[in-house]
Amino acid sequence: MSSQQLRSFSRAPSRPAVSLPRHLEKTLLAYATAAGAGLASLSMPAEAEVIYTPCNTAIAQPFFGGGPWLTPLDLNNDGAADFSFGRFSNGRGTFGSTTYLKFFLNIVPRRGGNGVVQGQQAGTAAAVASGKKIGPEQQFGAGGLYMAFLSFNNSTVRSLGTWPSVEFAYVGLKFLINGEVHYGWARIKFPYPGQWDYASIYGYAYESTPNQPILTGQTSGTAEEEAAEEETAAIDEATPESTPASLGMLAGGASTLRLWRPRNLPSNTH
């Protein structure tokens, strides 16, 4: 085959350009734009963030027989109270003899849709321990809930709530931002267990992403990350200082090598 024949054979036939109807061009462009926006939203998910506010705010103490005075809690610091803590005390009697006495500490949602994790007793707010998840699986009360209640009336004593037995605990909270549900917590501290009538708010936080749970005491990250870190710490705590490597561990790859690596060595050595 001659060189001229080779050139003729290798030359691809040209195709005439075909112009699409204008309405079809617009339709394809709209599809491409929508697809691009969808991919962008999938590749850039909204990142959860815990917003933490440290504080040491004393819950207002009324004079005996006065009050209740209210101490506001503005979880997202927008200038409007989301909850209020109330303290009340009242009594009646003569010198050396008391016939009536009443004390209580409660928390009241200030807006519709807000709520407090309920305790086991009806009408009480739970004293939640550190590291507990606050989210949609909890039961929230919308009315004023007692954290502690004590009354004495002609030798009849009535008490409510588990807060008098702790030095500090958390109230689990649900509140609305622009109509969307967010979860948070406030740490309530007393001088010592049983001294619940001298309470203070010792920091609070909320999850900035709607409908995302938060762990009590969590000040950063996400609830899932915090739980994963605690699980890893528990595994490391239970792992012996040095475990002989087996063929099974080596076959398992990086995820199992950390069980064999001596705990005092850094994860990356060079």
On whether both 135 and 230 belong to a single domain, the answer is no
How many independent structural domains does the chain possess?
2
What's the pLDDT at 269? 41
The kind and range of the H/E element at 258 are helix 254-260
The whole-chain average pLDDT of the chain stands at 74
Residue range of the domain that includes 72? 50-221
Q: Does 95 share its domain with 152? A: yes
Q: Are 87 and 176 members of one domain?
A: yes
Whether residue 129 is contained in a domain is answered as: yes
Q: How far is CA 113 from CA 17, 160, 172, in A?
A: 62, 25, 14
Residues 212 and 231 in one domain: no
Structural domain includes residue 2: no
User: How confident is the model at residue 249, as a pLDDT?
Assistant: 39
pTM to 2 decimals?
0.65
For 122-125, which contacts have Cβ atoms below 8 Å and span 24 or more sequence positions? Answer: 123/160, 124/149, 124/160, 124/161, 124/162, 125/161, 125/163, 125/171
pLDDT for residue 100 is more than 70: yes
User: Is 133 found in the same domain as 83?
Assistant: yes
Q: Are residues 131 and 239 in the same domain?
A: no
Amino acid 21: pLDDT: 55
Per-residue confidence band for 16, with pLDDT thresholds at 50, 70 and 90: low
In a domain, 39, yes or no: no
Q: Are 121 and 78 in the same domain? A: yes
Give the whole-angstrom CA distance, residue 118 versus residue 128.
Answer: 10
How is residue 31 written in tokens? 């599809």
* pLDDT band, residue 8 (cuts 50/70/90): very low
- Domain for residue 153, yes or no? yes
Cβ atoms of 267 and 257 closer than 8 Å: no
Going by the DSSP 8-state scheme, the letter that residue 113 receives in this structure is T
